Amino acid sequence: VVEASIPEHLRATWKKYSATGFEHKEEFEQEFVRHIETTLARSLYNCDDLAAYYGTALAFRDRLIIEWNKTQQRQTLLDQKRVYYLSLEFLMGRALDNAMLNVGKKDTAREGLEDLGFRIEDVVNQEHDAALGNGGLGRLAACFLDSMATLNYPAWGYGLRYRYGIFKQEIVDGYQVEIPDYWLDFNPWEFPRHDITVDIQFYGQSVRHEDEDGRVTYNWQGGEIVQAVAYDVPIPGYGTTTTNNLRLWSSKASSGEFDFQKFNAGEYESAVSDQQRAETISAVLYPNDNLDRGKELRLKQQYFWCAASLYDIVRRFKKTNRAWLEFPDQVAIQLNDTHPTLAIVELQRILVDQEGLEWDEAWKIVVGTFGYTNHTVLPEALEKWSVPLMEHLLPRHLQIIYDINLFFLQDVEKKFPDDRDLLARVSIIEESRPKMVRMAYLAIIGSHKVNGVAELHSDLIKTTIFKDFVNIYGPDKFTNVTNGITPRRWLHQANPRLSKLIASKLGGYDFLTDLTLLDGIEHFVDDKEFRKEWAEIKTENKKRLAKHIKDTTGYTVNPTALFDVQVKRIHEYKRQQLNIFGVIHRYLKIKSMTPEERKKLVPRVSIFGGKAAPGYWMAKTIIHLINKVGQVVNNDSDIGDLLKVIFIEDYNVSKAEIIVPASDISEHISTAGTEASGTSNMKFVLNGGLIIGTCDGANIEITREITESNIFLFGNLAEDVENLRETHRYKGFTLDEDLAKVFESIRSGTFGDANAFESLIASITDHGDYYLVSDDFKSYIQTQELVDEDFQKQDEWIAKSISSVARMGFFSTDRVIDEYAESIWNVEPLVVE
Ligand code: F58
């Protein structure tokens, strides 16, 4: 890292020319044209929407980086405690619209672009999503960055700069096909820092050394070196100049690595392939959600990123010349799930092996520094790494893990003598073949706080997967921080009309930074004019989505129909199969109705979207079924507008911004106890959509806030799930009559090749129905009938919609971040003048 500053007496000249961002329309236009003509080397004869997007993005990027610089200088000067959010995923979506709104210059840009012949909407739509995440976990990290900057916390995100984000999904003949998402052609939002590099070691061996006094030290030697290069992404807060940093690491062969011996020996190709191997580390985001696969490259990614980030954090701390004991007073590191757990081991290694601290002293610092957030109770998602793999790749780290485990188990034994079972249960090392390192246990032991992401979830981790640890540490180590969403992106940006209407009633946009102010709109629930405008906005948003559906699928949907939406990753526990079985049930029912009966029906558009992990066969089968049902239903002239089934291809953040504001009802129907929180449920309600859902995750707290009369709850409770599963296993069950008819129609080939869907049906009828689809089917159907009834009473429906939005104040990530800051990080916002 190069550190050189301009001598004091020359700084005046420098400061005279210090960059400033544009303020007015004319200055924006000037910046825009300059970037088009110089940075892009294009001209007014050669400037399409894409070029206009780059020009606009670069003009805003310059503004951001100026504030970024000031923010970083301020943070260094004031030297307060900082937060580091370690996440393997940041699902950012598009940056331009967000940047324009956060710095308050969207109108300036709109006018400027108009002067030059562009429509701002077209320009914004050119941007490729930054899709460095799978789903909820990655999007949560992105919302956190927005809130941390908005609230002026000195906070950095650390992640990987994947060359390929989550794959693009295409639907071919009803099947999902995955296309690589190469998104880095030209990314105006990142600043490569070729001067900020860290050498990361892999493989080799741990060498023991004993000095004359008998002091034993270990040294990690040999192996190979890969270089981490920093790329910085500025994160602007809303309504503040604070611009925080997201640092993403990219891998390349270390400068020493290029093997000149090989090169000289004429093995040029093999030297190049070594180089490429180094670059693979940050090449691709693993596309699994809630499934752990244990691939070596994934472990390499994890260590690469943890080691680079910690080196950076420690370097920054050392510049302050403080004593090591003060480290936890200056640094809080939050682990977004177990993926960065190696950071715990790495910090212990740095302190003991490199800085020469005593083990206990170092360990106290480590535990004081880290917090761990759990996002799942699904056993198949809990990370474990095989001991032989760990030993091969990170020999010294494995030793340290064994030592951490030894000291931990000794403590446990002191507290609970003679409980051998307990020791085996809580050991970081699972005594299987091969032995496995249980990352969640390591994360718990190495952190001072562990949190779940919604009340039910936090209770569940305490009573199930981490029960023993609650006994060992006491309940205070475990806490809940219910998730949220940023209202800037998920209301103001995605639904500008609704945001404007709310602002007109509340006398301004303060609710965007204090979402509890939304309760002020409850006064207008009975205001006829307000209701009318509210309903009109929903219709406009539905028309926008209808247009998107027409453009992308060719199907015409009626914007006055009830839009029923389920968009999220496709997973059996999220139960898109329950939804599509319900759709088939509806279809069969309509088919059997007289024209008179049909007249009373509420037309419905069932909208699905979401990706399946490429290797998750059952999830892909569900996508296939949805698409086949769509083909049949949508082309059945007998059905017309009464039912349409749409699968929106390649669901991502920017599509969510169109879909969420357009829903009348959305589905959050996971088997109770399986969805840790869910966050799209919050987005839909905040945009005036009602929800149908199970008593799971954050649905429960949403219900508490908006009251039971504003939500359609159904299905079994989490506390009964275990028993129901047992019953299935040992007693079998009788299939609900209506569900049996649905299966019959599939099996008779109504939706094409019946064989294709046999495994899906059999998972319910023959293999225990683990996700309790059959148990919840009846109450799901009945509740959907209630939805139909209520939708017909439009006036009441709108009233429900308004009072729900009014009561969503709790679900802002601003509240969430303040809770983390207070109860886990112990950090204060930085005062900005
Ligand atoms: C999600 N987890 C939870 N994991 O499923 C959801 O309930 C919660 O609202 C959200 O986190 C935020 O807390 C999730 O998205 C992943 O995608 C992981 C990706 C890496 C492999 C393991 C799953």
Q: How remote is the CA of residue 138 from the centroid of ligand 1, in Å?
A: 7
Helix or strand (DSSP H, E) at 690: strand 690-693
pLDDT given for residue 511 in this prediction? 98
**Averaged pLDDT for residues 777-803:** 98
186 against 687, higher pLDDT: 687
For helices 49-78 and 25-34, the axis angle rounded to 10 degrees is: 110
pLDDT given for residue 259 in this prediction? 60
- Pocket probe for ligand 1: among 289, 336, 373, the residue whose CB has the most ligand atoms within 8 Å is 289
Residue 564, ligand 1, Cβ within 6 A: no
- Residue 124's identity, in one-letter code, is V
291 and 376 fall within a common domain: yes
124 and 200 fall within a common domain: no
Residue 243, beta-bridge partner list:
236
**Averaged pLDDT for residues 374-393:** 96
Choose among 515, 452, 504: nearest CA to 478. Answer: 452
Phi, psi at residue 644, to the nearest 5°? Answer: -130, 145
Any domain includes 802: yes
Any domain includes 537: no
Pairing of strands 243-253, 224-236: antiparallel
Query: Does pLDDT of 267 surpass 90?
Result: no
Residue 309, ligand 1, Cβ within 6 A: no
Q: Give the list of residues 6+ apart from residue 728 with CB closer than 8 angstroms, or none.
A: 768, 769
pLDDT given for residue 256 in this prediction? 63
**Rounded (10°) CA dihedral 683, 688, 691, 697:** 30
CATH of the domain at 608: 3.40.50.2000
Phi, psi at residue 177, to the nearest 5°? Answer: -125, 140
Residue 453, ligand 1, Cβ within 6 A: yes
For helices 395-415 and 359-369, the axis angle rounded to 10 degrees is: 90
pLDDT given for residue 185 in this prediction? 84
Any domain includes 538: no
**Could you please report the per-residue DSSP string of 118-138?**
--HHHHHTTPPPEEE--SHHH
Which stretches of 554-647 are DSSP H helices? 576-591, 595-599, 617-634
Query: Does pLDDT of 832 surpass 90?
Result: no
403 CB burial (10 A radius; 0-12, 13-18, 19+): middle
Residue 288, ligand 1, Cβ within 6 A: yes
Phi, psi at residue 197, to the nearest 5°? Answer: -130, 150
Rounded to the nearest integer, the mean pLDDT of the chain is: 96
pLDDT given for residue 209 in this prediction? 96
Q: Give the list of residues 6+ apart from residue 188 with CB closer than 8 angstroms, or none.
A: 54, 57, 58, 61
- What is the Cβ-side half-sphere exposure of residue 829, based on CA atoms within 13 angstroms? 16
Query: Does pLDDT of 260 surpass 70?
Result: no
Query: Does pLDDT of 226 surpass 90?
Result: yes
Structure tokens at 711: 């939500």
Helices (H) and strands (E) in the chain, counts: 34, 24
Is 576 in contact with 671 (CB distance < 8 Å)? no
Is 478 in contact with 462 (CB distance < 8 Å)? yes
Residues 737 and 758: their CA atoms lie apart, in Å, by 18
pLDDT given for residue 257 in this prediction? 53
Any domain includes 500: no
Residue 290, ligand 1, Cβ within 6 A: yes
pLDDT given for residue 609 in this prediction? 99
Which ligand 1 atom minimizes the distance to the CA of 134?
17
451 and 586 fall within a common domain: no
**Rounded (10°) CA dihedral 350, 351, 353, 356:** 140
122 and 226 fall within a common domain: no
Task: Look up residue 609 and give its DSSP letter.
Answer: E
pLDDT given for residue 80 in this prediction? 97
Query: Does pLDDT of 351 surpass 90?
Result: yes
Is 249 in contact with 157 (CB distance < 8 Å)? no
34 and 86 fall within a common domain: no
pLDDT given for residue 566 in this prediction? 99
Q: Look-up: residue for tokens 């956190």?
A: 144
**Averaged pLDDT for residues 200-220:** 96
Residues 543 and 560: their CA atoms lie apart, in Å, by 9
Q: For the chain, how many residues are written? A: 833
Strands (E), 466-579: 478-480, 562-567
> pLDDT confidence of 561, banded at 50, 70, 90?
very high
Helix or strand (DSSP H, E) at 665: strand 665-668
Domain count, the chain: 3
Q: Say if residue 340 is preceded by a cis peptide, omega within 30 of 0.
A: no
Neighbours of 208 (CB within 10 A): 10
Residues 518 and 533: their CA atoms lie apart, in Å, by 17
Residues 709 and 109: their CA atoms lie apart, in Å, by 43
118 and 234 fall within a common domain: no
Query: Does pLDDT of 2 surpass 80?
Result: no
Query: Does pLDDT of 362 surpass 80?
Result: yes
User: Any idea which residues carry the catalytic annotation?
Assistant: 375, 568-569, 574, 679, 683
Query: Does pLDDT of 47 surpass 90?
Result: yes
Any domain includes 472: yes
Residues 131 and 180: their CA atoms lie apart, in Å, by 12
Percent of the chain with pLDDT over 90: 93
Residues 729 and 153: their CA atoms lie apart, in Å, by 51
Q: How remote is the CA of residue 140 from the centroid of ligand 1, in Å?
A: 9
394 and 416 fall within a common domain: yes
Any domain includes 12: no
Q: How remote is the CA of residue 42 from the centroid of ligand 1, in Å?
A: 43
413 against 276, higher pLDDT: 413
- Residue 704's identity, in one-letter code, is R
pLDDT given for residue 733 in this prediction? 78
Q: Tens of pLDDT along 759-782?
A: 999 999 999 999 999 999 999 999
pLDDT given for residue 21 in this prediction? 87
Q: State the residue range of the domain holding 640.
A: 560-807
- Pocket probe for ligand 1: among 139, 140, 290, 811, the residue whose CB has the most ligand atoms within 8 Å is 290
205 and 345 fall within a common domain: yes
Q: Which of 288-302, 407-421, 483-497 has the lowest mean pLDDT?
A: 288-302
**Averaged pLDDT for residues 391-413:** 98
**Averaged pLDDT for residues 353-376:** 98
Helix or strand (DSSP H, E) at 723: helix 718-731
Pairing of strands 331-336, 82-86: parallel
Is 304 in contact with 251 (CB distance < 8 Å)? yes
Any domain includes 497: no
Q: Tens of pLDDT along 506-516?
A: 999 999 999 99
Residue 133, ligand 1, Cβ within 6 A: no
Q: How remote is the CA of residue 648 from the centroid of ligand 1, in Å?
A: 21
Percent of the chain with pLDDT over 70: 99
422 and 472 fall within a common domain: yes
232 and 122 fall within a common domain: no
477 and 593 fall within a common domain: no
> pLDDT confidence of 831, banded at 50, 70, 90?
confident
Any domain includes 384: yes
Judged by DSSP in three states, 228 sits in strand
Q: Tens of pLDDT along 699-756?
A: 999 999 999 999 999 999 999 999 999 999 888 878 999 999 999 999 999 999 999 9
86 and 26 fall within a common domain: no
